[in-house]
Amino acid sequence: MLRISFLTLLPWVLSLTLSAQEPKDSPHGPDKKPAEEAKDKPADDKTKPAAPVSTEHSITISGQKIDYTATAGPIALKDAEGKTTAEIFYIAYTKKESDPALAAKRPLTFSFNGGPGSSSVWLHLGLLGPKRVKLQDNGFALPPPYQLVDNESCFLDETDLVFIDPVGTGYSRATKPEDNKNFHGLKEDARSIAEFIRLYITKNSRWPSPKFLIGESYGTTRAAALSGELLDTHRINLNGIMLVSTVLNFQTIWGGEGNDLPHTLYLPSYAATAWYHKKLTADLQKKPVEDILKEAETFAAGDYNQALLLGSALSPAQRSKVIKQMARLTGLSESFIDASNLRVSLSRFNAELLRSERRVIGRFDSRYTSLTQDPLSPMAERDPSADAVFSAFTSTFNHYIRHDLKFEDDRPYNILGGVGKWNWDAENEFVNVTETLAETMSSNPFLKIHVSNGIYDLATPYFAARHTFNHMRLHPDLQKNITQDDYTAGHMMYLNLPDLWKQKADLAKFIRAAAAQ
């Protein structure tokens, strides 16, 4: 069942978005010319996207030279009458094979990011594709201007890649602006992406290929919903789904009156963050972060969870004990925790932990910090982990698409925020696509799931992912199909170079095993 909370703005939900509010629609077509200049031109001349363009390239991965074809362009979605309803833009990378039969059987991975409202650029130029944005080895920012470098951890040695921009993102557009509502929703989005996948594998003779999805943040929500749509509508069974920074059950990460669950699930990530910034007591600081996480998990699931459950029935002695332990593990003062009624929201934690230094910490990656303007602000003024990398990805992609891939389109490429009101398909409930994924796994017991968690991710904390998969309504025999790996960075863990290499190894192993069953 697909369910949603009444909170439709969801400040954290963009897999990678800066705004704490629902993005607004904007006219994304090219500037209109005066009527006298356009009167003799076809009506759609100003908005018709360019045709797909293919270029030839090569890259060396682990000492092996791989020749590949890059194709960038749109695929048209059509209604029952054959009229185009939308164009979905994609970039595909396919390894050259001497035997066409081998090419048709190579694993094929469809990639998208989150939002809703994000293009596919983050996984594309951060983890999977043949180029990646150059950052410091720890993933921190470099000064502009920015550049791309060869991605020696590119996945083309394991799978062909197709990066999909949902309608409203990238260069993807509905034919008529008023038709956006037909694509901007949980189910609507899944239907359009499923249809794109069907068309792509049909047009490119890839039905024999082992098929994979990889999504990040809301892209993991999309992947779960999409797995059901592909099976139910198109009878397409997948070999594997890779979930990066997972949110399948929104109740686990969105707090509010009557929902204390996120407070317990965020606490271990708070502890890791405090340890990273050296805000814990000396006895804890000398321990490895793995030990801090274990202690925080035990406390969160035990005494802390019990205290929140009791509410006002919690005795003063119990309350004092919990406050002391919570302060010990989070680096926050006992008075602050007491005043917060044991419930410290994410934005308040990000503003409070380094307040004495006039710094705020990141939401996507809590290792990042930036200077504050208002030292008394009760909430985080910005997300420094977003500020550090968003411009770098935007700048490099806009150069790469024209210079390397030779695709020219003067319309804005909507990196983020390309969608307006989103149809969550329910009221007064939380989005929860775990049932859809469980049904898909039950129908297709060969389907494998890989989950990538960043321990410094404060947008989709790792302990929430643990909780989600521990509470799936799934037969015990299918639990073995789920693998989780943790990384020592945040939401975009692959920006940290050691995590990039580890994640490539983990996912390559996963793809090979799932494709070879």
Decide: residue 498, CB within 10 A, 0-12 exposed, 13-18 middle, 19+ buried: middle
Cα 125 from Cα 382, distance rounded (Å):
24
Decide: residue 295, CB within 10 A, 0-12 exposed, 13-18 middle, 19+ buried: middle
Torsion over CA: 507, 209, 120, 12 (sign): negative
Strand boundaries in 209-323, DSSP class E: 211-217, 240-246
504 alpha-carbon distance from chain centroid: 17
Q: Provide φ and ψ at 491, rounded to 5°.
A: -55, -45
Cα 150 from Cα 246, distance rounded (Å):
27
Integer angstrom CA distances of residue 301 from 139, 263, 297: 32, 10, 6
Cα 290 from Cα 308, distance rounded (Å):
25
Question: For residues 252 and 467, is the Cβ–Cβ distance under 8 A?
Answer: yes
CA atoms within 13 A on the CB side of 255: 16
Length of the chain: 517
Give the pLDDT score at 32.
32
List Cβ neighbours of 474 (8 Å cut-off, separation of 6 or more).
438, 441, 442
Cα 411 from Cα 139, distance rounded (Å):
30
List Cβ neighbours of 277 (8 Å cut-off, separation of 6 or more).
331, 353, 354, 361, 369
Give the bridge partners for 487, in sequence order. 454
Strand boundaries in 264-418, DSSP class E: 359-361, 369-371
Token pair for 498: 């050691």
Cα 196 from Cα 188, distance rounded (Å):
12
Name the residue with tokens 């963050």.
273
State the Cα torsion 215-221-224-228 to the nearest 10°: -120
Name all domains of the chain by residue range, CATH numbers in brackets. Answer: 48-251+390-515 (3.40.50.1820), 258-385 (no CATH)
Question: For residues 353 and 331, is the Cβ–Cβ distance under 8 A?
Answer: yes
Q: Provide φ and ψ at 31, rounded to 5°.
A: -60, 135
264 alpha-carbon distance from chain centroid: 22
Report which DSSP code applies to 153. Answer: T
CA atoms within 13 A on the CB side of 9: 7
Give the pLDDT score at 115.
87
Cα 517 from Cα 238, distance rounded (Å):
12
For residue 455, how many other CB atoms are within 10 A of its CB? 26
Question: For residues 121 and 90, is the Cβ–Cβ distance under 8 A?
Answer: no
Torsion over CA: 484, 486, 490, 495 (sign): negative
In one-letter notation, the amino acid at residue 48 is K
With CA atoms as reference, report the closest residue to 261 among 250, 269, 252.
252
Q: Provide φ and ψ at 490, rounded to 5°.
A: -110, -145
Report which DSSP code applies to 137. Answer: T
Query: Which is it for strands 211-217 and 482-487: parallel, antiparallel or unpaired?
Result: unpaired
- Axis crossing angle, helix 261-276 with helix 289-299, rounded to the nearest 10: 160
Cα 330 from Cα 271, distance rounded (Å):
5
**pLDDT tens for the chain, residues 1 to 517:** 444 433 333 333 333 333 333 333 332 233 333 333 333 333 343 445 568 999 999 999 999 999 999 999 999 999 999 999 999 999 999 999 888 888 889 999 999 999 899 999 999 999 999 999 999 999 998 999 999 999 999 999 999 999 999 999 999 999 998 898 899 999 999 999 999 999 999 999 999 999 999 999 999 999 999 999 999 999 999 999 999 999 999 999 987 778 999 999 999 999 999 999 999 999 999 999 999 999 999 999 999 999 999 999 999 999 999 999 999 999 999 999 999 999 999 999 999 999 999 999 999 999 999 999 988 898 888 899 999 999 999 999 999 999 999 999 999 999 987 788 888 876 667 899 999 999 999 999 999 999 999 999 999 999 999 999 999 999 999 999 999 999 999 999 999 999 999 999 999 999 999 999 8
